[in-house]
Amino acid sequence: MQHRLIGALLLALGMTAPVFAAPAHVVTEIELSHQLGRVNAEKLAHLVEHFNNQSKDYKVRLATRAEGAAPATLNLATREDVHEFTLKKGQFRPLHQVMADAKEKFDAAMFAPELRVGVADAKGKLVALPVAMTTPVLFYNKAAFRKAGLNPEQPPRTWMQLQEAAGKLRDADISCPYTSSWPTWIHIDNLAALNAGDVADAKGKLAFNGYVQVKHVAMLATWHKSFYFIYYGRRNEADRHFAAGECGMLTSNVSLAAVLRDSPAIDFGVAPLPHHDDVRGAPDHTLADGASLWVGEGRKPAEYKAAAKFVSFLLTPEMQVELTKMGGYLPMTPVARAVAESKLLAGDLVGLKVAYNQLKNQGAMHPLRVSQIEPVRTIVEEELEAVWANKKPAKEALDTAVARGNIALMPAPAAKPAAKGKCGSNCRGS
């Protein structure tokens, strides 16, 4: 009765009764920053689109990260970025904390030990997600092998066998018998790990100038002079030449298989990364490394909830298999690996079994990686290029790289406070 009287009064005054609308649905949007190239950026965009399509409460927006920019809510670090990210721990919130606060299921034990290196704290808790990890292998061109009279079902397993194969490929007029991408990652970090060594001593000082390393780099120098080894650049420039069918053999990340799989230009095989058979303890194991996902500090609870939901999305077996199929990356969890290794996906995931067989050795995890430390990596590459150019012998180049690298790793001296009453050019108004 009272409501009817109010309605009648409003009508009499020429007014209408208020309409109470349902509250608008709130969507939390977060940013994911990256510095990927076009191809990998497109792959990441595909994953983000899939998440956004199935999520009604949370959305992820991609953005290219500028140098020196403050962290976004989510940040994708490449191998070369990881060291810089670990030095800025105060700018990032540990992933295990983000997941716990959001009450999302998350246990570091679900990740293989080799995938946790560089993204776990002293207690073994994950501070970041090892989302796109890979390990180096040997790719070989089966057509080139046949032309050179080599058995494409018996690829070289040692560096001496690879040298023999390179010679036959050269004799068969293959202009690029062997090449390599990521020289520091493969020929410094993984050379040490696979041949039962390390790149640093017990005190953390660089020490990749021992017998095995010098012998290896000297060997490559000899190959370079003989045109057995063709050097294309510091990153993955060699991948393109192999994919085009120009090279007989290539050492690169196993993730390349996902690209080569769809290429009509080359019939390829995948074999373990070669080792030196005269080194005691070899072959030991290769290293896993790649892109990791970090969460920025100073965000709202809803934004952290969105970040946690995105991480949980990436960890589903379906998305783990999608990541592996799309990018050739190592599955992060045992369940995902079991699915990825099934006969159903065997044709899509070429090289995955080889990669895992290399990683399974339970040796040291080698927390220090030269390829992750930008200034040291640059130094090593400069010195290696001096060897390829016949400007330095292997021993001198590696000794110099170690000495320069150790200086680069030294902490910067603390700034001295200005003397009282002497502020120099820093005085206000100067």
Highest-confidence segment of 50-64, 71-85, 346-360: 50-64
Residue 140 lies in a domain: yes
Q: Are residues 254 and 376 in the same domain?
A: yes
The tens digit of pLDDT for each residue in 17-52 reads 455 555 667 899 999 999 988 888 998 999 999 999
DSSP per residue over 51-65, as a string? HHHH-SSEEEEEEEP
Cβ neighbors of 25 (< 8 A, separation 6 or more) are: 56
- Residue 425's pLDDT is 40
Q: Are residues 148 and 237 in the same domain?
A: yes
Q: What is the pLDDT of residue 420?
A: 52
Residues 123 and 162 placed together within one structural domain of the fold: no
pLDDT tens by residue, 127-146: 999 999 999 999 999 999 99
What pLDDT, on the 0 to 100 scale, is given for residue 13?
43
Which CATH number goes with the domain that contains 89?
A: 3.40.190.10
- Mean pLDDT along residues 366-378: 89
CA neighbours closer than 13 Å in the CB half-sphere of residue 190: 29
The first and second tokens of residue 397, run together, are 């180049």
Which of 219-244 are b and which e, b meaning 16 or more Cβ less than 10 Å from the residue's Cβ? Answer: bbbebbeeebbbbbebeeebbebbbe
pLDDT of residue 269: 95
**Residues forming beta bridges with residue 40, ordered by sequence position:** none
The DSSP result for 267-283, as a single string, is -EEEEPPPB-TTSTT-S
Supply the range of the domain harboring residue 126: 28-133+289-340
- What's the rounded mean pLDDT across residues 291-315? 96
Q: How far apart are CA 63 and CA 205, in angstroms?
A: 37
> Could you tell me if 39 and 116 lie in one domain?
yes
How much is the pLDDT for 101?
97
> For residue 350, what is the DSSP state?
T
User: What's CA 220's distance to the chain center, in Å?
Assistant: 25
Domain membership of residue 13 (yes or no) is no
Question: What's the CA gap between 150 and 135, in Å, rounded?
Answer: 26
Q: Which of 93, 114, 97, 115 is nearest to 106 (CA)?
A: 97
317 and 392, same domain (yes or no): no
* Rounded Cα gap, residues 58 and 27, in angstroms: 6
> For the chain, what's the residue count?
430
384 close to 308: Cβ distance less than 8 angstroms: no
Q: Which of 167-176, 292-301, 317-326 has the lowest mean pLDDT?
A: 317-326
pLDDT at 6 over 70: no
Same domain (yes/no): 246, 373: yes
In a domain, 369, yes or no: yes
Q: Is residue 247 part of a domain?
A: yes
Q: Considering the domain boundaries, does residue 322 fall inside one?
A: yes
> 377 and 251 share a domain?
yes
Spatial separation of the C-alpha atoms in residues 27 and 11, rounded to whole Å = 38
Question: Are 326 and 369 part of one and the same domain?
Answer: no
* CA-derived radius of gyration, the chain: 27
User: Which has the minimum average pLDDT: 4-18, 146-160, 330-344?
Assistant: 4-18
Residues 243 and 323 occupy one common structural domain: no
Residue 429 class from Cβ within 10 Å (0-12 exposed, 13-18 middle, 19+ buried)? exposed
Residues 6+ apart with CB under 8 A from 268: 139, 140, 141, 142, 242, 257, 260
Query: Is 256 part of a structural domain of the chain?
Result: yes
Distance CA 404, CA 18 (A): 76
pLDDT of residue 353: 85
Listing DSSP states for 204-249 in one string gives S-B---SHHHHHHHHHHHHHHHTTSEE---SSSHHHHHHHTT-EEE
Give the number of other Cβ atoms within 10 Å of residue 341's Cβ. Answer: 16
Residue 164 and residue 110 share a domain: no
Q: For the chain, what is the domain count?
A: 2
Q: Which residue has the tokens 């120098």?
A: 221
Q: How confident is the model at residue 12 (pLDDT cuts 50, 70, 90)?
A: very low
Please tell me whether residues 144 and 273 are part of one structural domain. yes
Give the count of beta carbons closer than 10 Å to the beta carbon of residue 108: 17
From 105-109, 270-274, 406-410, the region with the lowest mean pLDDT? 105-109
Same domain, 102 and 38: yes
Q: Is residue 312 part of a domain?
A: yes
In 73-117, which ranges are continuous DSSP H helix? 82-87, 95-101, 113-116
User: What pLDDT was estimated at residue 318?
Assistant: 85
- Is there a domain that residue 359 lies in? no
List, in order, residues 6 or more apart from 300 with CB less than 8 Å away: none
